[in-house]
Chain A
Amino acid sequence: GMKVRKEKTQLTVSLRRFVKKLENISDDEAQDILEEKSYVDALGICAQDAMGNSSSVSGGEVYSFQTPKRSSKMSELASELAQTPVQSVTSDRSECPEKTAKTPQSSSKKYMFLLLIHIFSVLLQSKKKEFVSTTPYRLRKRLAAPDSYLESESEYSASCSEEEDEEDQREVSTGLSGQKTPAKTKAASTPPPRNTLAKENKEDKMSNLVEEYFEAHSSSKVLTSDRTLQKLRKRRLNQQTLHDLLKKAPLAYAAEIKELNQHHESLFSKWMLQLHLGFNIVLYGLGSKRDLLEKFRTSLLQDSVHLVVNGYFPSITVRSILNSITEEVLDHIGTFRSPLDQLEFIIKRFKEDPSLELYVLIHNLDSQMLRGERSQQILAQLSSLSSVYLIASVDHINAPLMWDHAKLSLYNWLWYETTTFSPYVEETSYENSLLVQQSGSLALSSLKHVLCSLTLNARGIFRLLARYQLENKDNPSYPGLSFHDFYQQCREAFLVNNDLTLRAQLTEFRDHKLIRTKRGADGAEYLIIPVDDSTLTDFLEKEDEDV
């Protein structure tokens, strides 16, 4: 962050200089540049204005390049965060009084270093068996060779294999001694003057920031530790327990959040006015805005016709929105050939009858289902009607990219920042792909439920397919089991007697989304269970127990 910002200022300085040179060239150009300058100034002013008391954030901070990160950085930061205010410094000092005297300027660094040692030792205790594979490599290295701590920063940016080897060797040689007497090595090491080194680093990094970007993105290999959640031996949480657990955890800063909400609620009447004047309102900012909108609805829209759209709901479509407008608001019975026809009908009706008014509240206008170009176009056209009042919320960082100029002008947005900091309870509860730990358990339970209701033979068929898939799980180009082979196997296992019964069975599976069929390159039909391998293994284990 810091480095990039520095470069930014330099850039602007040089830009100014450049501008000054150019000013003499031609009137028109000079004019333009002047305008640009004034615009930059105006932006600065306005950014300060807009933020009010909060600190202004420059674009450079938000969209800066990333410097290559080391894998242990996270734990490092974690320990830093964990430590800073809580633990008293004195206890640490008492451990090594002579060291602090020797190297006073790097007390904070050392402090962190000691912490790392601490964590490391704990890690060692917990994972003795899997020492080599589990402990983050960098952490080990840092511990082993503390004197290279600062130099390492420059080493990492240029990732070259020789260096790696060298480091490995060093690690091996110093590893044992380092573990035994970490304090000693630290004491012996006298870190080189930090300032100069840091400066060099900075200059280095500035010069090839762009190269680094491509470097980091070109290599497909990403260094992360190989640990998996399974090795943690944690039981996976399902939706219900998660919900219960979260209920137990108290909401942090409830008072402050309430204050924020009250501030937003004071804007309700203003929103109403602006909605009626032809603007539509979009809310953004961190935190769930669902409750806020609900409150808006209950307090102001009780007596008027309104439609609430839960955009985060995974099966919401524009069509269903339009349907609910035509069927429930306009009392129209009948179907339409396409959403466009339906939209035309709605527009016509609203134009014919000026007394018709409709408030549309959309939670998460930027959700997966609604973010498509066509659905946004339809919603925009709907919202451009003068008697349709739209108030929506967006959360995704790239949400504004959904709209081009034409749509923006149709939407006629007024932006309101409503940062609430309240948890996205409803919004995240539907995204089962995202609850990483849960996805498995959900699918597993559904698998079980469906299979329970099937005949013994059907279960056998499914098990066959599952087993075959697991056998091939190491083959990345596994296309699935072809129907013909599957039929043969089922016949041999006396599960079916002709391919029609098998087909009927497969149709049932497909209806429950247990299997998926694909056409292979040769035109044959291939069958796949769209569940990840670990879940499938669990399922088979359970099934075997039952049988």
Chain B
Amino acid sequence: QIQEDLNKQLFDNLLSFLRRSHSEFQEKTKEWTCQMKSREIPTAALVLGVNVTDHDLTFRSLSEVLQNNITPYIALLEAKDCPGVKNLIQKLMGQLMNCDIDVDSLEDEDYVRVSQNRIRCSMTSLINWYESVTKKTDSETPSKKRTSSSRHCQSPPIVVIFKDMESFATKVLQDFIVISSQHIRELPLVLIFGIATSPMIIHSLLPHSVSSLLCIELFQSLSCKEHLSTIIDKLLLTAQFPFKLGDKVLQVLINIFLYHDFSVRNFIKGYQLCMVEHFYSQPLSVLCCQLVDATKRVDSLSHEQCENIRRLPSFRRYVESQESEKQIALLTEDSFLKETTLKLLEDLHVYHENYVSVLRCLHVFTSSLPKYPLGKQIRELHCVCLEDRVWETEEYESSLQLARMLNKSDLVTMLQQCVEIFVSSSGKGFDKTIEKLNEFLTQFQKLEAEAFQEQDVSVSSQKELQKKTDLYQLQKSLLDLKESRRSKKLTKFETLRCEIIDYIDSLVRNYLVPVDHKTLHEIVYFNTASVLREHLNAAPRTALHTALNNPYCYLKNKALKSDGGSISNKAPDICIVYKLHLECGRLINLVDWLEAFSTVVMAAEGQNADAASSDQVDDVIQARFIRAVSELELLGFIKPSKQKTDHVARLTWGGC
């Protein structure tokens, strides 16, 4: 039940985000429809990026918004439905007329369905329909018209969305554009192209004569990376959701995203899978819930579940660190255990709240450093912190060093940002921190005042310097200046800066403790990355390879155990046949193959080798061979060949 909650929230997040990012588009489309020119079809080219799978959501929300604000007439077209112009127009009319029903809902369905089938699908009929519809609303419901005209324009445009422009046949697109440009006066069309690659594709798909009919405006949607960071921001870096991802899992998910598909949808799928796995495999995941519910659930823990808690490694560590009396109590009394568990869970929750704020704060500092030793994105920082004590890493050292060289204005803005973060955070222990940071800020202001005075002095000295025109003097004075600078102690600003950095460092050491050091982290953290990789990013071919080359991995029989790369002759038939076929080139002679196979099998069964190569191969062995070969064909390693009689062709190349 928790999962469903979370999922819903998650999709809401995504949707609202997408909506926000697209609100600008709609406004513009509105503008254009008014300034329609003769013969030019207003067109929006939407560059969406390669994460094709996410586009569905985008388009859905886009059409929703359009429907609400601009026009009821929207058609979503996909390339796979439209192999020809005819199908395209059919589809288009079907969608338009259906949505007409949705809006008016006064005509009985039968009539429309019949007419849809009967109407010769052509542009003229479309125009007729359009005219009738607009007239109908004009004449029939004058009262309604007013409301509708306030919502829509006088003649609402028909918006046609091409979801995946690249996969449309160019001929179809061209024809459609040319045809509709002929009718643009009667039929206010607006096209929207969804583009995955680059806007150049329009020009490569459409010749100049066609593209000149379009009045294209380009819109860039946010990159999928930004989508991801919003998702991560809203999902992982809050204390709101009790369920958390461990470092390896997060790494795997991010890697799949960055290196395989750029699909936010798949990222969410992975997240869902993590949740399912966690709640399925971890018996204590009942406790992974909001703190409010936790009290009740802890109370209702059975003895068995208490034992489970005692078995957790992190809890054991905790017990060992306690005094002996308490140890005994923890290990024997369930009620005491429950109490402690609740307390620990609360601790954990507080830890999360603090963790997020401090992490953001640290990110403010590290994200502006040159070369980004701790990563540009907050997710990278998050991963590092999850993995180990962040302050022990080299990157942290270097970033602190770099931070000690920040200039004042940057430092001030950063401090201000940090204050904001802490103020807005839900953690309670931050009052002091805020105070301290504010103190730093006031010190800066003081410094500034002082510096202003100092500046006068330095300016005057500078003036002195300028007066002296003698070269020798100049050199000397410069050397003096250098000397003094080297020997001079740290300025006030520098000491303050060091103080600030040290303070941040202490914050980090206090709050960014990696989670494995926390007691009971197993309850809320999911950390078996292998499961995730197995199920999301499986390698079927590798599995086959292993099974064929090293059957011992699966069949734990001593006879199959082998050293090195070779397999024993007692392996299953298919392994032997496979191994033999590896030795061949592109074509395999079946007779040779059969003979080789029977040699191996006979030897394995301890028969006389003389019989093996004799003319009469045993029927059973032949049958086994046939089976193994046909299995290899099913698996796609070989196929029958007509190049030579009784030969098969190999389909793989190399060691597989």
Could you tell me which A residues sit within 8 Å of B by CB distance?
1-2, 4, 27, 30-31, 35, 38-39, 42-43, 45-46, 49-55, 57, 61-66, 68-69, 71, 73-87, 118-119, 122-123, 126, 136, 213, 216-217, 222-234, 237, 241-242, 245-246, 248-249, 252-253, 256-257, 259-260, 270, 273-274, 277, 279, 284-287, 340, 377, 394-400, 405-406, 408-409, 412, 414-417, 419, 421, 423-424, 427-428, 431, 433-438
Cβ of A74: which chain B residues have Cβ within 8 Å of it? 580-581, 583-584, 588, 592-593, 596
Q: Do A30 and B371 contact each other (CB < 8 Å), given the known contacts A62-B545, A119-B613, A285-B547?
A: yes
Contact between chains at B613 and A415 (CB < 8 Å): no
Cβ of B606: which chain A residues have Cβ within 8 Å of it? 86
Contact between chains at B599 and A421 (CB < 8 Å): no
* Further 17 A-B residue pairs, CB within 8 A, beyond A122-B610, A234-B617, A248-B620: A78-B596, A78-B600, A84-B569, A119-B613, A136-B592, A222-B643, A228-B591, A232-B617, A245-B620, A277-B272, A286-B544, A405-B51, A405-B53, A415-B535, A417-B534, A421-B555, A428-B627
Cβ of B550: which chain A residues have Cβ within 8 Å of it? 54-55
Contact between chains at A436 and B276 (CB < 8 Å): no
Contact between chains at B568 and A126 (CB < 8 Å): no
Contact between chains at B538 and A415 (CB < 8 Å): yes
Least distance between B578 CB and chain A CB atoms (Å): 10
Contact between chains at A46 and B654 (CB < 8 Å): no
Roughly how many angstroms separate A31 CA and B592 CA in the complex, as a whole number? 55
**B238 in contact (CB, < 8 A):** no
Contact between chains at A416 and B547 (CB < 8 Å): no
Contact between chains at A395 and B538 (CB < 8 Å): no
Roughly how many angstroms separate A241 CA and B591 CA in the complex, as a whole number? 20
**B590 in contact (CB, < 8 A):** yes
Cβ of B474: which chain A residues have Cβ within 8 Å of it? none
Cβ of A1: which chain B residues have Cβ within 8 Å of it? 565, 655
Cβ of A248: which chain B residues have Cβ within 8 Å of it? 620
Residue of B nearest to A224 (CB): B589
Residue of A nearest to B618 (CB): A245
Say which one of B102-110, B134-142, B254-262 lies at the interface with A: B254-262
Cβ of B567: which chain A residues have Cβ within 8 Å of it? 81
Contact between chains at A77 and B580 (CB < 8 Å): yes
**Contact size range, B:** 35 or more
Q: Do A62 and B541 contact each other (CB < 8 Å), given the known contacts A27-B370, A279-B273, A421-B547?
A: yes
Contact between chains at B604 and A82 (CB < 8 Å): yes
Residue of B nearest to A425 (CB): B627
- Residues from 514 to 545 in B contacting A, C-beta threshold 8 Å: 529-530, 533-538, 540-545
**B40 in contact (CB, < 8 A):** no
Contact between chains at B653 and A31 (CB < 8 Å): no
Cβ of B569: which chain A residues have Cβ within 8 Å of it? 81-82, 84-86
Q: Pull 13 A–B residue pairs with CB atoms less than 8 Å apart, ordered by A.
A: A27-B370, A71-B592, A73-B584, A77-B583, A81-B568, A82-B603, A277-B272, A277-B276, A396-B636, A405-B52, A417-B538, A434-B630, A436-B590
**B635 in contact (CB, < 8 A):** yes
Over the window 564-603 of chain B, the binary record of Cβ atoms lying under 8 Å from chain A Cβ atoms (1 yes, 0 no) is 0111111011101001110111111111111111011011
Contact between chains at A50 and B533 (CB < 8 Å): yes
Say which one of B205-213, B263-271, B410-418, B433-441 lies at the interface with A: B263-271
Q: Do A39 and B255 contact each other (CB < 8 Å), given the known contacts A30-B371, A222-B585, A399-B540?
A: yes
Q: Do A82 and B600 contact each other (CB < 8 Å), given the known contacts A224-B587, A273-B280, A435-B626?
A: yes
Shortest 4 CB-CB contacts between residues of A and residues of B: A82-B603, A415-B538, A49-B530, A78-B596
Over the window 615-653 of chain B, the binary record of Cβ atoms lying under 8 Å from chain A Cβ atoms (1 yes, 0 no) is 101011011101101110111110010011111100011
Q: Contact partner of A397 among B541, B603, B623, CB < 8 A?
A: B541
Cβ of B156: which chain A residues have Cβ within 8 Å of it? none
**B251 in contact (CB, < 8 A):** yes
For A213, A287, A437, A438, the residue with the greatest tally of chain B CB atoms inside 10 Å of its CB is A437
Cβ of B600: which chain A residues have Cβ within 8 Å of it? 78, 81-82
Least distance between A387 CB and chain B CB atoms (Å): 16
Q: Do A54 and B530 contact each other (CB < 8 Å), given the known contacts A27-B372, A222-B585?
A: no
Contact between chains at B617 and A82 (CB < 8 Å): no
Contact between chains at A256 and B533 (CB < 8 Å): no
Cβ of A38: which chain B residues have Cβ within 8 Å of it? 251
Q: Do A57 and B545 contact each other (CB < 8 Å), given the known contacts A227-B591, A414-B273, A428-B630?
A: yes
- Residues from 371 to 430 in B contacting A, C-beta threshold 8 Å: 371-372, 375-376
Q: Contact partner of B263 among A230, A405, A423, CB < 8 A?
A: A405
**B609 in contact (CB, < 8 A):** yes
Contact between chains at B585 and A55 (CB < 8 Å): no
Contact between chains at B634 and A434 (CB < 8 Å): yes
Contact between chains at A428 and B634 (CB < 8 Å): yes
For B269, B573, B634, the residue with the greatest tally of chain A CB atoms inside 10 Å of its CB is B634
Contact between chains at B276 and A273 (CB < 8 Å): yes
